[in-house]
């Protein structure tokens, strides 16, 4: 609740109003203890304004029903709500310098990896466990992200081109982000280093969800695509579910598969496996395509040809397995995410991805997103071709 005696804490925020029409969020302007609610923002029939004087306890003459509103309470705006509201204004006005911090952050904590997946643009060509020349995010620069991260609603601690748990300072990131307990922190991992001790550490931190990359549901397919010890991965996941059951941390656990011609037969099996192990769902990603994605690589005595494996080049083969996975998940009541790109490549359906390709000038990423590479380059999103700065020269907040 707002402390009426301290009107200086008022600022701009959102107001949540419950009406017959449902639940709405409208921008309100707080100034010197006065709240103005623009009813047009609520979708009300008239665009009247209602002002509530909050410099003293609210007692409207004649009672709140005369306003057609019941005020149950007014909450002080949280830093998140304030930042989110400013972001909404920023996305409309596109200022040269933003007065808010990013609501989404992607941080590549390392480029090192302990696997050599055939689908991975960075590591498919490497042999063995050679990570020479690949770097961790510079530890001395980690604190330079802190202030900018405090208003973020979603933070992806990605491996960049690597495995996040291979970063020497992996756990330091959670300590750094403790100042933002409202953030939803997530990461993808291959799960192979989820020892009992690492799981214990993970469950002590504020992590909303993790997505564990399987790309398979059988040891053979796993050896063809990822390599690594499938039995260990299964044991690690069982241990994670076991420890989660007795922990106060309800972390959401998902298994993912990047679908190719070579592994799609395992997609329905992965749904069953996820259910058996007791995790929360499965994600079926679409293999990226584009000029840069074109290679052939040998693994497990087989050759993986990238182009030959794309869903768009195998719609007839891939479609029944995806449909089976969907049916199994529905039957089990298990969450299943199917990448919307499959609508286009498997069914030829136009959707928002193909109906109109956005122009560069329509991109709003710089006004809400900030992405960090493992070499501390800063980009407006993880797809941006060029960095706009590097943390060596300035802090994320300055940038």
Which residues of the chain form contacts with ligand SAM (CB under 6 A)? 113, 117, 119-120, 159, 163, 188-190, 213, 215, 256, 258, 285, 287-288
Which residue shows structure tokens 């980690």? Answer: 142
Nearer to ligand SAM, 288 or 394 (CB): 288
Q: Which residues of 34-46 are buried (b: 16+ CB within 10 A; e: fewer)?
A: ebebbbebbebee
Pair of tokens at residue 267? 């997609």
Helices 230-245 and 267-277, packing angle to 10 deg: 40
Q: 3-state class of 155 per DSSP?
A: strand
What's the closest the beta carbon of residue 313 comes to ligand SAM, in angstroms? 14
What's the closest the beta carbon of residue 188 comes to ligand SAM, in angstroms? 4
What count of Cα atoms within 13 Å lies in the side-chain half-sphere of residue 89? 19
- Give burial (CB, 10 Å; 0-12/13-18/19+) of 146: middle
Radius of gyration, CA atoms only, the chain: 24
Nearer to ligand SAM, 37 or 157 (CB): 157
**Strands 377-379 vs 369-372: parallel, antiparallel or unpaired:** antiparallel
Residue 174's H or E segment, with its range, is helix 170-176
Nearer to ligand SAM, 71 or 223 (CB): 223
What's the closest the beta carbon of residue 323 comes to ligand SAM, in angstroms? 21
What's the closest the beta carbon of residue 163 comes to ligand SAM, in angstroms? 4
Nearer to ligand SAM, 222 or 369 (CB): 222
CA distance 29 to 33: 10
Nearer to ligand SAM, 13 or 110 (CB): 110
Pair of tokens at residue 221? 């397919």
CA distance 343 to 363: 23
Nearer to ligand SAM, 83 or 188 (CB): 188
What's the closest the beta carbon of residue 268 comes to ligand SAM, in angstroms? 18
What's the closest the beta carbon of residue 253 comes to ligand SAM, in angstroms? 13
- Give burial (CB, 10 Å; 0-12/13-18/19+) of 197: exposed
What's the closest the beta carbon of residue 222 comes to ligand SAM, in angstroms? 12
Pair of tokens at residue 388? 């706009």
Nearer to ligand SAM, 212 or 378 (CB): 212
Pair of tokens at residue 275? 């259910």
What's the closest the beta carbon of residue 215 comes to ligand SAM, in angstroms? 6
């Amino acid at each position: 609740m707002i402390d009426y005696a301290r009107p200086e804490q008022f600022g701009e925020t959102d107001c949540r109003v419950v009406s017959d029409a449902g639940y709405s969020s409208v921008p309100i302007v707080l100034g010197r203890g006065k709240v103005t609610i623009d009813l047009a923002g609520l979708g009300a029939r008239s665009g009247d304004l209602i002002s509530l004087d909050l410099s003293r306890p609210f007692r409207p003459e004649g009672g709140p029903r005369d306003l057609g509103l019941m005020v149950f309470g007014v909450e002080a705006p949280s830093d998140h709500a304030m930042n989110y509201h400013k972001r909404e204004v920023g996305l409309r006005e596109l200022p040269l310098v933003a007065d808010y911090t990013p609501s989404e952050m992607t941080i590549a904590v390392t480029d090192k990896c302990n696997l050599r997946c055939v689908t991975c643009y960075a590591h498919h060509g490497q042999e063995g466990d050679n990570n020479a020349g690949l770097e961790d995010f510079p530890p001395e620069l980690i604190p330079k992200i802190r202030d900018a991260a405090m208003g973020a609603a979603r933070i992806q601690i990605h491996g960049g081109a690597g495995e996040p748990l291979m970063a020497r300072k992996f756990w330091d990131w959670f300590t750094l982000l403790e100042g933002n307990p409202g953030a939803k922190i997530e990461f993808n991992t291959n799960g192979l280093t989820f020892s009992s001790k690492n799981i214990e550490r993970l469950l002590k931190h504020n992590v909303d969800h993790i997505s564990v990359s399987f790309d398979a549901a059988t040891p053979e397919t796993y050896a063809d695509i990822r390599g690594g010890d499938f039995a260990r991965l299964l044991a690690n996941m069982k241990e994670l579910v076991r420890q989660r059951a007795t922990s106060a941390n309800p972390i959401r656990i998902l298994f993912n598969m990047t679908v190719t011609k070579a592994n799609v037969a395992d997609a329905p099996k992965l749904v069953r496996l996820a259910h058996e192990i007791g995790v929360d769902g499965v994600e079926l990603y679409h293999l990226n395509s584009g000029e840069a994605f074109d290679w052939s690589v040998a693994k497990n005595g087989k050759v993986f040809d990238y182009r030959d494996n794309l869903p768009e080049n195998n719609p007839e083969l891939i479609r029944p397995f995806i449909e089976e996975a969907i049916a199994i998940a529905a039957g089990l009541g298990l969450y299943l995410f199917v990448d919307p790109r499959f609508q286009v490549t498997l069914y030829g359906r136009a959707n928002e991805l193909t109906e109109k390709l956005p122009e560069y000038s329509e991109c709003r990423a710089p006004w809400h997103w900030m992405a960090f590479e493992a070499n501390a380059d800063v980009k407006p999103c993880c797809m941006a071709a060029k960095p706009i700065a590097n943390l060596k020269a300035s802090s994320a907040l300055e940038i």
